[in-house]
Structure 1
Amino acid sequence: MTAMSAYAARSRQELLDEQEEVCRELDRLRDRKLKLNMARGKPGKAQLDLVSEGLMHVFQTPEDYMSDGIDCRNYGELAGLPAARRLFAELLGCRPEQVFAGGNSSLQLMYDTVAKAYTHGLVHSPRPWCREEKVKWLCPVPGYDRHFKITESFGFSMIAVPMTEDGPDMDAVEAAVRDPQVKGMWNVPKYSNPDGIVYSEETVRRLAAMKTAAPDFLLMWDNAYCIHEFEGDFVPFPDILAECAKAGNPDRAIEFVSTSKVTLPGAGVACFAASETMLDHLKKLMGVQVISFDKVNQQRHVLYLKDKAHTLELMRRHAAVLAPKFRCVTDALDRQIAPLEIASWRRPKGGYFVSLNAMPGTARRTLELCAECGVTMTGAGAAFPYGMDPLDSNIRIAPSLPPLEELETAMEVLCACLKRAALEKLLK
């Protein structure tokens, strides 16, 4: 029996010997009093440094504040600078007339969209959603915890839908939307959070064309990682708005994107794109709460990013920073965990996360052990509605923030904790 044989193939005594060795390793790691954070997908300092100087010094003359005859320092242009709308339209593959350029947060725009549906209803809503007896919402899992928090905060009943290699299980989705109380669905269609799955073209078409009992069923299409490859060339993606229009459901989807992981997360530009009918509806509601968003920042991004080709070149520079970090994660798991057969994981080519499935019943314990060793990670269950992973298995790894040397140490901790949690489970 070799030291790296699968745990399931070992005798109880061999597992006890292994546990003793792993405990010694964890004691050594705890003694280092680490303070490492892999809780969220934040860009690291090297990525921020790529952008900061160029972005913050684009204004050289008073004329730089002018865009299409608009002084971006003043009030007006609720839907954003036309130049910013054109830039986002080029990135998303839709038309500028379908784009609303806002402030720095796409999450804020998503929350605001759900809030407006709740208080006023959407284009095809028989009534505001607050007057419905019950609102249900589809949540592909594992998924993005902040999405789930939005719909949970409005009291929606969230329904988990399993992910497949091609995106959400469409048979389950198409069965669920026969219920008129099912009003919408979260989607991260490219490099999904956290699995890194890219929706297939067939999945996108089925989502656009499926028959729904609710006339105002909404696809919340968070295309957060639409240009975020860190391995290989840019991968084109279908225009969901065009697909919905082609299927006879032009108002079904609202697409969201931001420059949070392109330029600066706290000072980027976010937008949503929708049919012109839906855009007009939302503009009327938004016009009550805001005169205009930060057009100076929009102009800063237009001058800095220029166009799609120039933006993709910047993303290749981000990829040069990110790719070694993701390799660090998967190499450590391949080397230390794969032979033991106590977890499985995906190898994404873009996005910001690695999704790991530990031995069922051990994710929470693994992360408790990590915290004891000074490594902070996203809480167990976060990728599921209400924070409840039925298998207690999924762990989201966010490699982007720590420098590579710290990430190597963090992975040493995670692998040791995975082993300890699995051994505890097997030796019960």
Structure 2
Amino acid sequence: MSSVQPSQTGAPTSNSPEHPWPVRSVATKVSQWIDRLGSIWVEGQITQINIRPGTRTAFLVLRDASVDMSLSVTCSPALIRDSPVPLTEGSRVVMFGKLSFYTGRGTVSLRVTEIRAVGIGELLARIERLRALLAAEGLFDPRLKRPLPFLPHTVGLITGRASAAERDVLSVAGKRWPAVQFEIRNTAVQGPTATAQIVAALAELDSNPAVEVIVLARGGGSVEDLLPFSDETLCRAIAACTTPVVSAIGHEPDNPLCDHVADVRAATPTDAAKRVVPDALAEQALVAEFRARGAAALRNWVAREARSLADLRSRPVLADPLAAVERRAEEIARLREAGRRDVNRLVAGQATVVEHLVARLTTLGPAATLARGYSVVQKVVPGSDPEVLRSVEDAPPGTQLRVRVADGAVIAAVMGKDKSGEAQ
């Protein structure tokens, strides 16, 4: 399948493997498309200035301060020489120009006609606006701050190569805790490439499971020198870290935005080393103090408990435990004797009562009556028990009788009756 495109003269031009476009046609079309973009304002940081004597064109490289992207720029050398603010490599500028495609070399550049240097006041205003934005998003919230480990085995350090900040951190940390180890990443700490290098080093150390805390250290400098540490990309990278980050940028008055996003802000690199690792001598002294306090507390506790035991042992019940038993034994013996006497007295009294009752029963019983000369006459009825004879009418003549006297009984028979009461 082939495509048909109009030519510059209006005649269609086919494009296929059999009818390819020449390079000049492609370059011309790209140039035409880019030319339609018009003029634009661009902000960035100058990383290279090349002005050749006797030429009418100055060549510059404009780089994005947050990412590793750059753009070729051309302008009149007069724009550089006549600028109210001297333009040097590292200057932040705003340029006005138009993109151009050079068909001869196939390159794109920005042809600028106006260059404005971004002053300190404008930079500070932008930092303040970014500060308000990040604060509104909650990146400065103290509740998000992660605590530092008490004794990290490995510390990540991001700093300039052979810098005073690196020497301070390493020397102070080594003196405080000689066993501490460092994972050092040397990066640019100012200039157009600083932000990208610091973000890359931060991501590398954060992904290392052995690194327990990351220190971002740099010595003092001007506002322009510390601009990378107020970059939005770096601030968001610090907030996204899972490893605690300590910011030690500049001196005490310096206050870049990364100080607010980091978990801990250190006034100086030396202060960062003191915050990250404990002082071995101080910790040993603290341990010795705790041991002494613990031993004293234990001794006081033992002495207090010994006094309590002595007080308990001095009480009568523990000083002579058998005394109470002996007193109770004597009391029990007295009570037993008293109980025995009461029982004997009760038994004796009841025995006397029984004797009296026996005597009375004996006196009232039939045996005593028989002993006085009386007898009991019973009628003997064959086939049944003898019956006491109560009337002469119950004993007709011939009735067999049993007469009981004091010393036994006799058998008699009725010979007759005498109702006068005299015996027959």
Both proteins in one fold, TM over 0.5:
no
Q: Give the structure-1-normalised TM-score.
A: 0.23
Q: Give the structure-2-normalised TM-score.
A: 0.23
